Every structure is written in C-alpha cells, then in structure tokens.
Amino acid sequence: MGTPSKALLCLHGTGSSGSIFRLQLAKIRLALKDEFDFIFMDAPYPAPPGPGVLPVFASAAPFHGWFGGSGATVEGRLETINASVSAAVEQWQARSSTKIVGLLAFSEGALVASLLLWQQQLGLLPWLPPMRFAALICCFLPDEASAYMAAHSGGGTTICVPTLHLHGRRDFCLARARKLAKEHCDPGAAVILEFEGGHQVPNRNEDCREAINHIKRLT
C-alpha cells in the first residue's frame, strides 16, 4: 500500500455536500487511494437538495450550493466561492505536505473548477497551487458564466491545462457540458468520455475504470 504523494481538491454539485460527494466517488477513490489524497469541502451557500440527492441522501442534510440566491452579482458570488476554496486549501496545507495538483468536480462544482482554472491562467489566484489537470463530471455551464468569462478575459476564455470531461449520455445538461469542452477548453488537451447514465457520477465498473485510467495518464 502506497502513501499518496498528490492530492485532488473535490468539488460537489449543487444541493449536496463534501461528505455526499465522498460517497459518490467511492469507486474512483478506492482505485486511486495509493496515488491521491482527496480533499472535500462544502460549498459556501445553503441550498435545497440537488439532482439525484434524494431520496438516497435525505438524512445527510445540510445541503450546500456554490452560487447562492439570484440577487448576488457574478463578481460577488465568485468572490465568495474563491474565499471558501482558499480557506479549504489553507486548512489542507496547514496539516499536510501533500501537494494539491488537480481538481475533481461534479455538476455545479465542475463549473467552479473551470472558473478556478480560468482565473488561475489570468494570474488572479496566487493562493491556488498550480493545477496540472481537472476531471469534470457532468458540468453545468450556464450562458451567464460564458458571458462573464468573455467580458473579463483579456487572455481569452480557453482553459489550457489538460481536462477530462465525463458526460452522461442521458444527462439533462449534456449540451452545456459539451459546450464547456468545445468552447472553453483546449481541444488538444481535452479528453471527452461518455458513459451510460444521467446527471451523476459514473458508477458502472467499466465507466469508472476508463475514467480512472485517464486520470492516471493526466498525472
């Protein structure tokens, strides 16, 4: 049994939590436990249960979301998100020497991961360790996020670090996940895998195995 030399920051979907995401990633974590530590955190805003959370995780409240109510500006929400992620990174660094090298994220958390990568490229997040890659599961990319990136991106809106995109073929936001990969990720550094399922973390053994193999290649 090896000792992990790297860590992944894991960002859950809306209306969920770090503890729920830990369970959803059980197969992937087990396969990568000798290579990575997995860092889980809760999003900064309270939220109702998100897609796929009920009834399985009904007893796992409270639930959290990344972007809060509709009244806040994009800038304000992003500031709150950055502060919460920065605090999680700082807490990890205070107790572990294992370096954070990538992001593993689902749904709205995958949107947050994408925005973190984009901001890092612009030199806006000095507290975030250099990200080598990100695995993005069923990303929910609203038009508002694309417009914000275009309006605030002197360096462009293309994420250049390697990305792995996991898309459920029956996902209700499949078109939005595909849009992220097509319009905001370097085509030479993006890998797209589709799996049988909806808006969920891959669970079938063959789907998990393929995702795990690609994550290993990215590192």
Residue 74, classified by CB atoms within 10 Å of its CB into exposed (0-12), middle (13-18) or buried (19+), is middle
Is 107 designated active site?
yes
**For residue 129, cis peptide bond before it (omega within 30 degrees of 0):** no
Cα separation of 11 and 18, whole Å? 7
Q: How far is CA 71 from CA 67, 74, 75, 76, 141, in A?
A: 10, 10, 12, 10, 19
**From the candidates 37, 42, 171, 207, which is the catalytic residue?**
171
Catalytic residue among 12, 64, 184, 199: 199
Catalytic residue among 17, 107, 184, 207: 107
Q: Which two tokens stand for residue 99?
A: 């370096």
Q: Quick check: is 64 catalytic? A: no
Alpha helical stretches, state H, 96-199: 108-121, 143-151, 174-184
SS3 71: coil
Question: How many Cβ atoms from other residues are within 10 Å of residue 176's Cβ?
Answer: 18
Name 165's bridge partners. 136, 192
Is residue 80 within 8 A of residue 68, CB to CB? The reply is yes
Catalytic machinery residues: 107, 171, 199
